[in-house]
Structure 1
Amino acid sequence: MTRHSSQGGDVPGYVREASRNPFVLKISMLAALGGLLFGYDTGVISGALLYIKDDLDAGSLAQSWIVAGLLAGAVVGALAGGRLADLISRRWTLLIAGIIYVAGALAAALAQTSGQLVTARVVLGLAVGAASAVVPLYIAEHTPPRIRGGTVSYNQLMITIGILVAYLVNFALRNVDGGWRWMLGLGATPGVVLVFSMLFVPYSPRWLMQRGRRAEARRVLARTRRGEDVDAELDEIESVVAQEHRTGFRDLLRPGLRPMLVVGIGLAVIQQVVGVNTVVYFSPTILTYTGLEASDAIAQALTVGITNVVFTVVAVLLLDRVGRRTLLIIGTAGLTVALALLAAFFGLGWQDSAPWVALVALLVYIAAFAIGLGPVFWLMISEIFPLAVRGRAIAVCSLFNWAANFLVSYYFLQLIDAIGRASTFWLYAGLSVLGIVFFIAKVPETRNRTLEEIERDLAPSTARPATPHKPRPA
């Protein structure tokens, strides 16, 4: 099968192609509401924590668990979500995740002790983890390759919008007595929206083909592939399904799949060990280190949320033009510089002489993350794995991502206490450099290729289908 044209590879070309597929855009945006769950809950705890620690008498350890409880639940949710996506469909998994999220958000708002709040956030994490594993998979399986980079990244865009909305809610309620309960309770809203949205979207065509429901799959593809040969794509999917045997998690360790798993897990861990969620969860806390009061720190944190959204939009427009790997390397280099600047800020004692440097460093950091590691990780894990193991493989990568997120977020305040602020950010900068080396050595480019083409190109010869196919031109 020949590669599809990218309409010249320019941004207007992406917009034209997207406008030809309004049904794809609708599906992608509705599914990406799953990202809104994570974004809102990530952003809201950053402001709420400043008040929870007083109302619930939460010390550093309790605060760490309040933040990390969601992440612990997400580890389990990601693994379960991948399995459920294969068993009951991507669509119904997201609907169930929305229901669980609503219950967790309301329980968090009503918590009377730190322990109750941690439990509620573990429940929230189950939903967030499941959604994080399923949303990129679902969108990728609906989208033509020409615009897949942009549409799958709607998930990351929704995460950043959720963070910004949470920051706005934190700002609006910062002086309200018991406002943190409203901050957490309002999180039920995106969960309700996700539940109702999933009632109006179709099953993934690839999931339908796995179950022999070709007629249904064809109807879905006919609505998402305007003017294209739907039957040829169905034949390609059917061929892959027929050549792959039923698999379990153990099959991910086969020699042929191992290189793909290394790339996926590497991206998952590096995305977190560069410290992104310490910036998102604790940006108001970091800004209080410069001498700001809690309400002023929350106000300045708004600029972090706005920057995150703006540069994620830039990434959506560029991923199908510039390529995943290029943005990944450029973005990670940029955030490494920002981390070094933040470490220098604290190490050289600029809090009094140049307090604005901390905010600038945070903004540069979040902008660089938003065009690179933020969207590229979720996009690439939805592209690089064979269909038969895709759900489970994404679940495993998501599990490693949430586990790394848990460790980094849980130990952030304790790391600050143990080695100091400057050394903590120097550590993140060093890990970012190692990440760049890994990307250059291991991560392939997947732009403008069908999921089946990527599967054939990335799998070593021992993992490729036994049925021969024509070699691709160099």
Structure 2
Amino acid sequence: MLTFLRELRANGVVTRVAAIAAIGGFLFGYDTGVISGALLYIKRDFDASSFQQEAIVSVLLLGAAAGALLSGWLTDRIGRKWTKVISGSVYVIGALGCAFAVNAPMLIGARAVLGFAVGTASFVSPMYISEVAPPKARGGLTSFNQLAVTTGIAVAYLVNYFFKDVSGDWRWMLGIAVIPGAALAVGMLTVPRTPRWLMEQGQDDNARKALERLREGTDTDIGEELDQIRDSSQEARQTSMRDLVRRPVRTLLMVGLGLALFQQIVGVNTVIYYAPTILQQTGLGAGNAITQTLTVGLTNVVFTVVAILLLDKVGRRPLLIIGTVVAGIALLGLAAYFGFSGLQDSAPWLALVSLLVFIAGYAVGLGPVFWLMISEIFPQRLRSRAMSLTTVTNWLANFAVSATFLTLAGAITRQGIFLVYAVMAAVAVAFFAWRVPETKGRSLEEIQRDAGADQGEAEPAKAGR
């Protein structure tokens, strides 16, 4: 922890740049969190059916998948910086559309626009931060994005709490999102392009200037770091999509896709999107359910901070495995609560406690580690394409889980669906122990070289390396 804090002080410019870039994560968090409370009042005002409610929640995820898919092309063509400027601008348009929607279909359309911006930002933020951060602090700095996500969720819950007493004014809940959207677009105008992207474009002098600005006040050997970036950039100019399915990149891609799927199919966003709904099902009124949801948002933020402080000390893989085990146990607690009426009578607190434990485990492991590792494990020559594919997979899995939660809960019961998520958590732990490598403390170029992805000669670093 002390090493990470020293790195933050020594790399003040990078810390500021990372914080601005992470506003994209805040946008993602705010919109996923705010809809959970707003939905209770949207349902009332628009007389929305279960299908419309699921569409209002999940269409954002389809838009996000489209945004992430396009981002792979945009980041290569116009760079990481300007892609994020565009995403912030589009977000402002989508947030205004939500605030002024006059019916459910219009709201669904505006949420799709928001999703496009959120998907773009979620893809580019960890990529941008990982490419500007020094190796010793990359884990914590890249996880600024996840901290921003959890902070956005917590702020959304606070906004929901405030406006629940103003006749449940969901339009303000959704419209306030204009502020962080504008902040992202304007803030990204003040940061440099990444040295890696500049080098790929043949702009060596500009790459040096950008790196000098980013390493200002540190004892970093600029020449050595530039040489490493130059070597990997030369490879980046000679690639195609077919390289993604060649060994060992194919194996790395399987790791990334596995992380993308498991991050969602343990059911995290059913908790984020439907936490008030779940708590309402325990007998609470809408206002009290929103109030108790505040504790979920706070827990998310606190344990994400814990993860940031530990990622560069303990490592990615141990936190990933431990956090997912804890989350799986909490899912069993939720299944037990909804499965036994005796528990509902004698332990009404169990549902909230299980939600909090689940969020704590997730925030320490799968939450930050997925976004961090997909920005680390892929070789630079294929990073944009591979991250785009894994991010699209993540959003589609998010959509599949979120769009079916209410329907499945009705079909297989609430305890049944939480049992399914618990089984997925157990499978996830086995996969992480078997395939996920450790990347702590190594430069992106060292990770690439150790994986053999430059030459296509070796398998990626095995778990525990």
Calculate the TM-score normalised by the size of structure 1.
Answer: 0.94
Distance 1:282 1:203 in 2: 38
Q: Which residue of 2 aligns with 1:243?
A: 235
Deviating runs (4+, > 6 A) in structure 1? none
What is the aligned counterpart of 1:321 among 313, 317, 335? 313
Q: What amino acid maps onto 1:417 in structure 2?
A: G
Q: Which residue of 2 aligns with 1:310?
A: 302
Q: Which residue of 2 aligns with 1:25?
A: 15
Distance 1:461 1:97 in 2: 32
Q: Residues 291 and 351 of structure 1 are in contact (CA less than 8 Å); yes or no, is this contact kept in structure 2?
A: no
**Any unmatched runs of 5+ in structure 1?**
1-10, 466-473
User: Is 1:16 aligned to 2:9, yes or no?
Assistant: no
Q: Secondary structure at the match of 1:352?
A: helix
Q: Which residue of 1 aligns with 2:461?
A: none
User: Is 1:391 aligned to 2:381, yes or no?
Assistant: no
Distance 1:250 1:76 in 2: 21
Cα RMSD between the aligned structures? 1.3
Q: Which residue of 2 aligns with 1:5?
A: none
Q: Residues 200 and 237 of structure 2 are in contact (CA less than 8 Å); yes or no, is this contact kept in structure 1?
A: no
Provide, for residues 336-381 of structure 1, a one-character-per-residue CA deviation record: whole Å limited to 9, x for no partner: 0000011001111222221110000000000000000000000000
Q: Residues 345 and 358 of structure 1 are in contact (CA less than 8 Å); yes or no, is this contact kept in structure 2?
A: yes
User: Is 1:38 aligned to 2:28, yes or no?
Assistant: yes
Deviation, 1:29, is 0.3
Q: Residues 241 and 385 of structure 2 are in contact (CA less than 8 Å); yes or no, is this contact kept in structure 1?
A: yes
Identical amino acids, percent of aligned pairs:
54
Deviation, 1:248, is 3.6
Q: Residues 34 and 128 of structure 1 are in contact (CA less than 8 Å); yes or no, is this contact kept in structure 2?
A: yes
Q: Residues 456 and 464 of structure 1 are in contact (CA less than 8 Å); yes or no, is this contact kept in structure 2?
A: no
Q: Which residue of 2 aligns with 1:412?
A: 405
Distance 2:228 2:453 in 1: 19
Provide, for residues 106-154 of structure 1, a one-character-per-residue CA deviation record: whole Å limited to 9, x for no partner: 1011111111111111100000001111000000000010000000000
Aligned length: 456
User: Is 1:290 aligned to 2:282, yes or no?
Assistant: yes
Q: Which residue of 2 aligns with 1:102?
A: 92
Q: Residues 235 and 454 of structure 2 are in contact (CA less than 8 Å); yes or no, is this contact kept in structure 1?
A: no
Q: Which residue of 2 aligns with 1:231?
A: 223
**Any unmatched runs of 5+ in structure 2?**
459-464
Q: Which residue of 1 aligns with 2:448?
A: 455
Q: What amino acid maps onto 1:251 in structure 2?
A: D
Q: What amino acid maps onto 2:359 in structure 1?
A: I
Q: Residues 237 and 381 of structure 2 are in contact (CA less than 8 Å); yes or no, is this contact kept in structure 1?
A: yes
Q: Which residue of 2 aligns with 1:122?
A: 112
What is the aligned counterpart of 1:192 among 182, 188, 198? 182
Q: Residues 329 and 439 of structure 1 are in contact (CA less than 8 Å); yes or no, is this contact kept in structure 2?
A: yes
Q: Secondary structure at the match of 1:463?
A: coil
User: Is 1:382 aligned to 2:375, yes or no?
Assistant: yes
What is the aligned counterpart of 1:440 among 433, 438, 444? 433
Quick check: 213-222 or 257-266, which moved more? 213-222
Q: What amino acid maps onto 1:299 in structure 2?
A: T
Q: Secondary structure at the match of 2:439?
A: coil
Q: What amino acid maps onto 2:8 in structure 1?
A: A
Distance 1:316 1:264 in 2: 20
Query: Map of 1:35-434 to 2, 5 A cutoff?
Result: 35-177=25-167, 179-225=169-215, 226-349=218-341, 350-434=343-427
Deviation, 1:464, is 5.4
Deviation, 1:251, is 2.7
